[in-house]
């Protein structure tokens, strides 16, 4: 039987050291913290940023997120839309170089819980690399420490790949690569 692939069912889960009582929007909070590596922010454009998923569906599972806090795609103006799309293009390039997948699933969850997303008021595009014959990474690697190490390794690879692209600035090893 074919396995149903449903990355939109993935919940975005905070690292366990974070306070679960805090009800703020993580997609507003994380890029504002200025601790990019610690929070998996790997690249920053002018209007959007790239965040590694802490509980990846597959290695290299990232989200491309506008800084603007909105859950409605139609709220984004031309400048933000273009920036978001360009950052998606760069992300495919970086993932090609860093991980060499055979393909991708990419998409938005709109409509919150009805669409299966966990964060419905701040839109984000999931990009999930796929390999021929891959299965869900999570059942294979269910040990939290292993997953954290895998995400750290992916951060390193993706950071290098973004840094090697034209039109980027590397601020420091612990900072997201800046898209000029």
**49 sits near Zn ion (criterion: CB under 5 A):** no
What DSSP line would sit under the chain, residue for residue? -PPPP-GGGPPP---TTS-TT--S-HHHHHHHSS-TGGGTEEEE-SSEEEEE-SS-SSTT-EEEEESS--S-GGG--HHHHHHHHHHHHHHHHHHHHHH--SEEEEEE--SGGGGT-S--SS--EEEEEE-TT---HHHH---HHHHHHHHHHHHHHHHHHHHTSTTEE---TTSPEEE-
- Backbone torsions φ then ψ of 35, nearest 5 degrees: -135, 70
Which member of 27, 49, 104, 162 binds Zn ion (CB under 5 A)?
A: 27
Site for Zn ion (CB under 5 A): which residue of 69, 72, 118, 173? 69
When asked if residue 33 is in the footprint of Zn ion (CB under 5 A), the reply is: no
- Judge whether 124 counts as a catalytic residue: yes
Asked if 13 is part of the footprint of Zn ion (rule: CB under 5 A), the reply reads no
Least separation in angstroms between residue 137's CB and Zn ion is 27
Among 82, 105, 120, 122, binds Zn ion (CB under 5 A): 122
The least CB distance from residue 40 to Zn ion, in Å, is 16
Residues of this chain, 140-179, that bind Zn ion according to CB under 5 A? none
* Complex with Zn ion: residue 68 or 156, whichever CB lies closer: 68
Sketch the per residue contact string, 73 through 112, with Zn ion: x for CB under 5 A, - otherwise: ----------------------------------------
Residues at the site binding Zn ion, with contacts judged by CB under 5 A: 25, 27-28, 69, 122
Point out the residues that are catalytic: 124
């Amino acid at each position: 039987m074919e396995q149903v692939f449903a990355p939109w069912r993935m919940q975005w889960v905070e690292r366990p050291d974070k306070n679960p009582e805090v009800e703020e929007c993580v997609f507003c909070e994380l890029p504002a913290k200025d601790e990019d590596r610690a929070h998996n922010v790997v690249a920053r454009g002018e209007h959007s940023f790239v965040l590694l998923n802490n509980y990846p569906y597959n290695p290299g599972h990232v989200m491309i997120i506008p800084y603007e806090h909105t859950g409605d795609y139609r709220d984004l103006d031309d400048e933000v839309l273009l920036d978001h799309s360009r950052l998606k293009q760069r992300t495919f390039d970086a993932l090609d170089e860093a991980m060499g997948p055979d393909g991708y699933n990419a998409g938005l969850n709109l409509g919150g819980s009805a669409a299966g997303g966990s964060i419905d008021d701040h839109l984000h595009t999931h990009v999930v690399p796929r390999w021929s014959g891959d299965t869900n990474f999570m059942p294979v690697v269910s040990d939290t420490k292993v997953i954290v190490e895998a995400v750290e390794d992916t951060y390193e690879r993706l950071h290098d790949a973004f840094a090697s692209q034209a039109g980027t600035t590397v601020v420091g090893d612990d900072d997201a690569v800046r898209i000029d």
